[in-house]
A = this chain, B = another copy of it.
Amino acid sequence: MPAFAVLAEVSDRPGILSGLTRVLADHQANITYVDIHDAGEPTSDIYFEFTLEGSDVSRILADMQQVPGVRLVEETPNFARIYGKRIIVMGGGAQVGFVAMGAITEADRHNIRGERISIDTIPLVGEQELAAAVRAAARLPRVRMLVLAGSLMGGAITEAVKEVQSYGLRVISLNQAGSVTDVADLVVSDPVQAGVMAVMAVAETAKFDLMRQLKRRY
């Protein structure tokens, strides 16, 4: 189905999102992404991505423009084309930095050839904090891979990894203490190589099939 992205500048008050989503529902548009951004009081930007079968996007724009509180509606390039697939690296700062270095350098090589891969990181300590961040990663848009960059991860983190794997998210772990290496899809000792492999696994431009490497250790 054709995909569209639309940006609406609106007054910052309750009910406008409801009005705009009503228009999209009336046109049978299937909303795949929404983002609300404070453009500064008293206005906000609301950004939609949606797929549409048969209906005319210009009629949707015209109907959105009629919703009370809407100032401006326009088509815009979509995030998937700009920021692409995301790899999230989390754990201790030193190791997150080296995984990111490997992943960014490798993503650069693929992005030059037409891929669009971005590397997001969060340096974070604590079992409960990391478990919450792992769970939340599965709810973030466009995330294809999680890399756990630490020296000791287990317990609640391992349970969170199993949960996000059940949603289809793949997880690479550095070779480290704790039970997380027992459940990771791939275990890698060198942080730079872990970053490179994470990118290779999600790049269409790479010949690396993570499924053939499952449960291996490097």
Contact = CB atoms under 8 A, between A and B. Distances in A.
Given A31-B17, A101-B101, A45 B120 contact: no
A214 interface: no
Chain multiplicity (copies): 2
Contact of A121 (B37, B104, B122, B133): B104
Interface of A is mostly: mixed
A14 B28 contact: yes
A22 B168 CA distance: 31
Q: Interface residue tally of chain A, by bracket?
A: 35 or more
A74 interface: no
B141 A35 contact: yes
Contacts of A13: 30
Nearest to A12: B30
Interface string A42-64: 00010100000000000000000
29 contacts: A12-B30, A13-B30, A14-B24, A14-B25, A17-B31, A17-B34, A18-B22, A18-B24, A32-B36, A34-B34, A34-B35, A35-B139, A35-B140, A37-B138, A37-B139, A40-B167, A82-B136, A93-B104, A96-B108, A97-B101, A100-B100, A100-B101, A104-B123, A107-B123, A108-B123, A119-B120, A119-B122, A120-B121, A121-B121
